[in-house]
Amino acid sequence: MKKFLKIFFIVIAVLFLILLVAPFLFKGKIIEFAKKQLNDMLTVQVDFADLKLSFIRNFPNAYVALEDLTVIGTGEFANDTLLSLKKFSVTVDIKSVIGMENINVKSVLLDQARVHARIAESGHVNWDVMKPSDETTPEPESESSSDLNMKVALKHFEIRDAYIVYQDDSSKMLATVKGLDFLLKGDMSLDYADLQINMNTAAVDFWMDGIRMLNSAVVKFDSEIGADLKNMGFTFKDNEFRLNEIILKFAGSVLMPTDDIVTDITFATEKTEFKSLLSLIPAIYMTDFASVQTSGNLVLDGYVKGTYNDKQMPNAGINLKVGQAMFKYPSLPKSVDKINAAVRLFYDGVVFDNTTVDVDQFHFEMAGNPFDMELHVKTPDSDMQVAAKFAGRIDFNSIQDIVPLEGTQLKGVLDCDLALAGRMSTLEKEQYEDFQAEGMLKLSGFEYIDKDFPQGVKINSTQLNFTPKKVDLVNFDALIGSTDIAMNGSLENFIPYVFKDATVRGNLALKSKMINLNEFMGDSAEETPVAEDTTSLSIIEVPKNIDFKMNANVGTILYDKLTINNTVGVLYVKDGKVRMDNLSMDMLEGKMVLNGEYNTQDMTKPSIDFNMNVSQFDITSTLSSFSMMESMFPEPQNYVGKVSAKLTLNSLLDQQMSPVLNSIESKGTLNTHNIEIRNSKIFGKIADVLKNEKYRTLKPGDLTIHFEIKEGRVMFEPINFDVPPVKVALSGDQGLDQTLNYAVKVTTPTSSIGAGADLLSRLPGGSTIKELSLAGKVTGTISDPKIQLDMTNIAGTVIDAAKQQVTEAVTQKIEETKAQVREEVAKQVDNLMAEAQKQAQNVRDGAKSAADKLRSEANSAADKLEGEAKNAIQKQAAKIAADKLRKEGEANAKKLEQEGEKQAQSIIDTATQKAEEIKSK
């Protein structure tokens, strides 16, 4: 016996030691195996800092805990944290685990859970994390696995200090729950058990379409539920649900025998004081709610009955009545009195068209001003019927005398007298005579400022006049921060837009002195919390249910670093897009005409698609104002001049409204005017080689540059320009990430090479080179370019210089010989022409002498004839004969002279021809 006991205790000790040290011996392998199995099964990335495994801590129970667990999304939800846990622990009975039939889970704890459940605009959900099974190669089911009937019995489930975010991008819904504590206790291993549920939260917030419906609401639920776990039936016993000061009691049951969930639940308020309903108004509940004086009766009850499955929902009804209620803050002078309401809501989960909304009465008097509303809605799915009346005045100036605003300014007066009745189909069919719509809404002197919207909004006046066909916007005169907006026009389909979220059409004229978009680009943490972190967004979403044509005339638009003046053109707002038609604007010291669209149909991938005609933009201002340009050309102050362009630009936008670089596609032509590039790092490298500082600053003059941007690179057609006396040829491309890939060739006179450069001295015959060509490749980045010279090109320059020397020497010798020949030929020609001139002159002189002799003889004969006449008749006849002799003598003399001149010119022509023959030899 002693020996047996000794062996027994030794075995027990060894087993205890194994249970104690096994988790430590195999911990690393267990952690590695667990992570691998989880990531193999799930589409998300699962990680945890540590795994605690102990068989001793709660012996005979096993304790398993994962610490600092994170589940991070992939694909569409990349980098989104779906779940994080400070600790996830499970305590389970060891014997039940070994048996694998009825696993007895003692407790489950989720400590400091952070959950972000999200539905994207695409409809995909981030919690669909199971990888699809491979249906083509199913694993064969073993007999043991198919016959296994395993049950898990849970006794204690607890969540401590959880933070939960539910975000539905498709319906613009957001809910956050802070400080959630949840406890479920009961022996779920039994067929029937009483389950205890305790839940409370520190704050619940809820937004719908950007409107805050709940503000730090307190939610609490304590219940005892009778659970028929064998038949999956649950019955409410003692329970209480609290939302702020509203306390509801539930009765009924929930059955889940199959995939269907059958509900039969009624609820009603325990308190019938109006004050409990008032607690649902955030502005009142959050401000000294305990001191509010109230009176009046409240009835709130309802039910949820029917089956929930993939095809239908349970029916639900809510009944609310308020009678002769009022409330007043003791410290403020005014109150809201005579509050009466009767509201009935019915939701048909099987046939939604049977759903009805009936506000039979809603009346209150605020600071002595009565306001009444009545609303009835039927057949919302097939053809919505609406009957509504709104009448009265709301004096916002009195709000501060009724409710403590604490940093909020609210002013203005709303006057309303409006009646609507009819079916939506009559408006869609333009049967306006069958729909009643008459009255007006008028808001004047309105002003709203609070700590979250310090720039405030002021509506000086606006008025809407209603008719069945359209709503006339008589005027809209507003100031939002420093932005002023004046609009008028008409709206069609406005009533279906309000009641059915249909598309509203409009033709509007927009005028503004200044629109400051920077005031709308700030942090939006209060409006769109996503988890514990907040992100500042600047993308402006264009509503998809608006179809507007807007004639815009805006004096100044401020956006980021840009100041845009004199914006005139037509805007078409439709289907989540803004299309611009010949939108003209003055900016960057120049002018631009814009055609194209801004598209937010998919808010995860907003985009632009523009045709741009740019005239005389200042280059420095342009590079400084656009992040994309500044990334391509850093230090914009080094670029001076003007640029004009005709181009297309297509790109996705990021959440800061900047182009996504790799998505940019653009093509066009740039024309530069008096451009100057200072401190060029690329040409600075050449300046270092040539020891000439002038190359660091380029003045290429007016250039025409053809370019294309695609797949993140800017590709240029070859560019040739002069920077006298330097000639430059540039070709290649440049990345939007600043990477360079250029081929450059610089041709410069050697006289422009600085004295400190040893480049020529290292070249054979360098002293004889008059012009040097440098070629190479430019790589690296804009801020750190790398230039690799092509030595083959420099060697070619040396060879060309040597050829030039030989050519010049031969040419010089030939020219010397030609000069001697030309000198000898010139002498021969001169002698020949001189002799010809001499002979020609002799001919002229001989002809003139003979002509003079003929004239003398003719004159002498004429004089003698006149001298021999005796009487008047003889003298008259002699004179006639003498004149005839003189004329004939003169004619013969001139003929002789002409013949001599002809012979002389013939001599000169012959000599000239012979001289040309001599020159040509």
Residue 374: both structure tokens together: 């009545």
Among 265-269, 536-540, 626-630, 780-784, top mean pLDDT goes to: 265-269
Does 853 or 358 have the greater pLDDT score? 358
pLDDT digits (tens, 9 = 90+) for 355-381: 999 999 999 999 889 999 999 999 999
pLDDT digits (tens, 9 = 90+) for 450-484: 877 788 899 999 999 999 889 999 999 999 989 99
- Please provide the DSSP assignment of 378-396 as one string: E-TTTS-EEEEEEEEEEEG
Give residue 28's pLDDT band: very low, low, confident or very high (50, 70, 90). low
Q: What is the pLDDT of residue 537?
A: 43
Q: Is the pLDDT of residue 99 over 90?
A: no
Q: Is the pLDDT of residue 656 over 50?
A: yes
Q: What is the mean pLDDT of residues 6-35?
A: 56
Q: What is the mean pLDDT of residues 551-580?
A: 92
Q: What is the pLDDT of residue 916?
A: 75
Give residue 33's pLDDT band: very low, low, confident or very high (50, 70, 90). low
d(CA 579, CA 584): 13
Give residue 30's pLDDT band: very low, low, confident or very high (50, 70, 90). low
Percent of the chain with pLDDT over 70: 83
Average pLDDT in the chain? 81
Q: Is the pLDDT of residue 863 over 90?
A: no
Among the residue ranges 101-105, 248-252, 311-315, 333-337, the one predicted with the least confidence is 101-105
Residue 304: both structure tokens together: 């949820």
Q: What is the pLDDT of residue 142?
A: 44
Q: What is the pLDDT of residue 290?
A: 79
Q: Is the pLDDT of residue 566 over 90?
A: yes
Among 234-248, 340-354, 508-522, 895-909, top mean pLDDT goes to: 340-354
Bridge partners (DSSP) of residue 301 are 268, 319
pLDDT digits (tens, 9 = 90+) for 517-555: 887 765 433 344 443 333 344 678 888 999 999 999 999
Question: How many CB atoms neighbour CB 72 within 10 A?
Answer: 16
Question: How many CB atoms neighbour CB 204 within 10 A?
Answer: 20
Give residue 771's pLDDT band: very low, low, confident or very high (50, 70, 90). confident
Q: What is the pLDDT of residue 388?
A: 95
Among the residue ranges 27-31, 248-252, 368-372, 410-414, the one predicted with the least confidence is 27-31
Q: What is the mean pLDDT of residues 856-868?
A: 79
Taking the whole predicted model, whether its pTM rises above 0.85 is answered as no
Q: What is the pLDDT of residue 102?
A: 63
Find, among 751, 749, 707, 710, the residue nearest to 730 by Cα: 707
Residue 174: both structure tokens together: 């957001």
Question: In 3-state terms, the chain is what percent helix, strand and coil (to 5)?
Answer: 30, 50, 25
The span from the first CA to the last CA of the chain, in angstroms, equals 147
Q: Burial letters for 172-182: b for 16+ Cβ neighbours within 10 Å, e otherwise?
A: eebbbbbebeb
Q: What is the pLDDT of residue 150?
A: 45
Among 155-159, 180-184, 288-292, 824-828, top mean pLDDT goes to: 180-184
Q: What is the pLDDT of residue 144?
A: 41
Does 669 or 65 have the greater pLDDT score? 669
Give residue 245's pLDDT band: very low, low, confident or very high (50, 70, 90). confident
pLDDT digits (tens, 9 = 90+) for 123-169: 788 888 777 765 444 444 444 443 444 455 678 889 999 999 999 88
d(CA 440, CA 417): 6
Look at the alpha carbons of 214, 216, 218, 219 in this order and tell me if their dihedral is positive or negative.
positive
- Please provide the DSSP assignment of 649-687 as one string: EEEEB-TTS-B-GGG-EEEEEEEEEEEEE-S-HHHHHHH
- Please provide the DSSP assignment of 698-758 as one string: EEEES-EEEEEEETTEEEEEEEEEEETTEEEEEEEEEETTSBEEEEEEEEEEGGGS-TT--
Q: Is the pLDDT of residue 171 over 80?
A: no
Does 179 or 55 have the greater pLDDT score? 179
Q: Is the pLDDT of residue 797 over 80?
A: no
pLDDT digits (tens, 9 = 90+) for 713-750: 889 899 888 877 778 888 999 888 888 898 888 887 77
Half-sphere exposure (Cβ direction) of 33: Cα atoms closer than 13 Å: 5
Cα–Cα distances in Å, from 269 out to 247, 326, 855?
6, 19, 156
Q: Spell out the residues 6+ positions from residue 388 whose beta carbon is closer than 8 angstroms to its own.
A: 373, 374, 375, 376, 418, 419, 420, 421
Q: What is the pLDDT of residue 807?
A: 52
Q: What is the pLDDT of residue 799?
A: 44
pLDDT digits (tens, 9 = 90+) for 623-633: 877 766 766 67
pLDDT digits (tens, 9 = 90+) for 878-909: 777 777 777 877 887 788 778 777 877 887 77
Among the residue ranges 343-352, 482-491, 693-702, 737-746, the one predicted with the least confidence is 693-702
Among the residue ranges 5-14, 317-326, 521-530, the one predicted with the least confidence is 521-530
Q: Is the pLDDT of residue 429 over 60?
A: yes
Residue 655: both structure tokens together: 């959440």
